[in-house]
Amino acid sequence: MPITNALTTTIERVSILDEHGNFDEKLGKGLIPDADLLKLYETMVTCRMMDEVAFKLQRSGRMGTYPQNMGQEANSLGAAYALNNDDWLVTCYRENCGLMWRGVPIDSILLHWMGDERGNAMPRPHHATPIAVPIGTQMLHATGLAWAAKYRGQKQIACTFFGDGATSEGDFHEACNFAANLDIPVIFFCQNNFWAISVPGRIQCSAPTVAQRGIAYGMPCLQLDGNDLFAVVYGVRKAIEHARTTGKPFFIEGVTYRLGDHTTADDARRYRDQAEVDAWKARDPITRLRNYMTKKGIWSDAKDAALREAAEASCMATIERCEQVEHPVRSDVFNYTFADLPADLATQRDTGHTHSLGQDPSQLPSASNAR
């Protein structure tokens, strides 16, 4: 028997507004109304500003380790814009921009990185899950969240974000496999930023695209320019349509770049070339959008300066609020462990001790003498 082709496939790549200012009218026209575009741009600028302010805060010892989002803003923002507000947004930690669009207070994000669990008390109506620190675990939760919607007969879907490094974790593959085989409408959005701390993307995925990982699970896949807000909105809308109409998952690779260090605890100069960083700076999603809007006549340098000023003021106000928040109390360590605190834990909380004589000083001879 002749050898036949079991599968032939291609991966489409979407780019609408490139770094040179070229705009694909066919795909891009009417995709985002101007009024929305201005608001989206404003969110990106504010997000970037917050990144810069947070970085400086960490450097001056006023904040713990912080992962900058710089350069990757368009991915989560485009997705949050395209999704319905009751679709689940299941992020890791470089999706501040999308969370801000969803309405999650920036205070929540900052408090988290300031070492304060109260930052994770995400208001449930936002349908956004708390920041996920361990890599690659949250995609399974997204699958469960969307599964619950399916079970209840709701039209909600989930969109989950992760990096190229996370696609190496077993949990990632399990999430894809569950969603694909149990027919669960999840959008798997990989922000391929080429670096997992110091480890380059080729160590995580040596195939030509990350997008093709979805093929192994029978999902439609798309690669898009993740620094192009239009391409992201286009791609995510396509994914949403697929997920809602078929109830099945969709895989997106947003090609982007981590312009900053992994976190403030990292120094990327140790392992990557500045030339590479500079090349990606020229593809910055914010600059690109600004040039486009200016060319279109809906934006100006004066407006930009005013926006930046306002963004800085709002970021400083956020910082002030977060720094002035009352210090958490020790009982907070205990009170959220269970719905009903076991007696032994209540004793630890109330006495501040784990040793039996500290918890019950009546056992001490001085106490019995007093009796």
Partner 1 sequence: MANLTLVQAINLALIQEMEKDDRVILLGEDVGANGGVFRVTEGLQKRFGANRVVDTPLAESGIIGTSIGLAMAGLRPVPEIQFEGFLGPAYDQLCSHAARMRTRTRGAFTVPMTVRVPVGGGIHAPELHSDSPEAFYAHQPGLKVVMPSGPYDAKGLLISALRDPDPVIFFEPKRIYRAIREEVPEDEYTIPIGKARVVCEGTDLTVVSWGASVIQCMQAIEACGRSVELIDLRTIYPMDMETVEQSVSKTGRCVIVHEAPRTCGVGSEVATQIMEKCFLHLEAPVQRVTGFDTIMPYYKLELEYLPDAARIQRGIEDCLAY
Enclosing H/E stretch for 131: none
Tokens of 168: 């190496």
Q: Which of 8, 10, 366, 369 binds partner 1 (CB under 8 A)?
A: 366
| Amino acid at residue number 325 | V
- For residues 247 and 34, the answer to whether their CB atoms sit within 8 Å is no
* Cβ distance to partner 1 smaller for residue 56 or 296: 56
Residue-wise burial string across 280-311, b where 16 or more C-beta atoms lie within 10 A, e elsewhere: beebbbbebbbebbeeeeebeeeeeeebeeeb
Tell me the C-alpha distance between 46 and 226, whole Å: 19
The residue range among 129-137, 150-158, 221-229, 230-238 that interacts with partner 1, by the rule CB under 8 A, is 129-137
Q: Which residue's CB is nearer to partner 1, number 82 or number 319?
A: 319
DSSP-assigned letter for residue 269: G
The stretch near partner 1 (CB under 8 A) out of 81-89, 98-106, 113-121, 227-235 is 113-121
Is residue 112 annotated as part of the catalytic site, yes or no? Answer: no
- Given the residues 62, 271, 336, 353, select the one marked as catalytic: 271
Note whether 212 binds partner 1 by CB under 8 A.
no
Distances (CA, A) of 26 to 17, 31, 78, 178, 185: 11, 10, 19, 36, 28
Give the chain's length: 371
The yes-or-no answer on residue 270 being catalytic is: no
- Alpha-carbon span 141 to 292, nearest angstrom: 37
**271 labelled catalytic:** yes
- Would you count residue 324 as binding partner 1 (CB under 8 A)? no
Task: Pick the catalytic residue from 258, 283, 288, 290.
Answer: 258
Any contact of residue 113 with partner 1 (CB under 8 A)? yes
Least distance to partner 1, CB of residue 141, Å: 14
Single out the catalytic residue among 262, 283, 288, 290. Answer: 262
List of residues contacting partner 1 (CB under 8 A): 64-65, 112-117, 133-136, 165-166, 168-171, 196-199, 203-204, 265-266, 270-271, 327-328, 330, 332-334, 337, 344-345, 348-349, 352-358, 361, 363-366
Residues labelled as active-site residues: 258, 262, 271
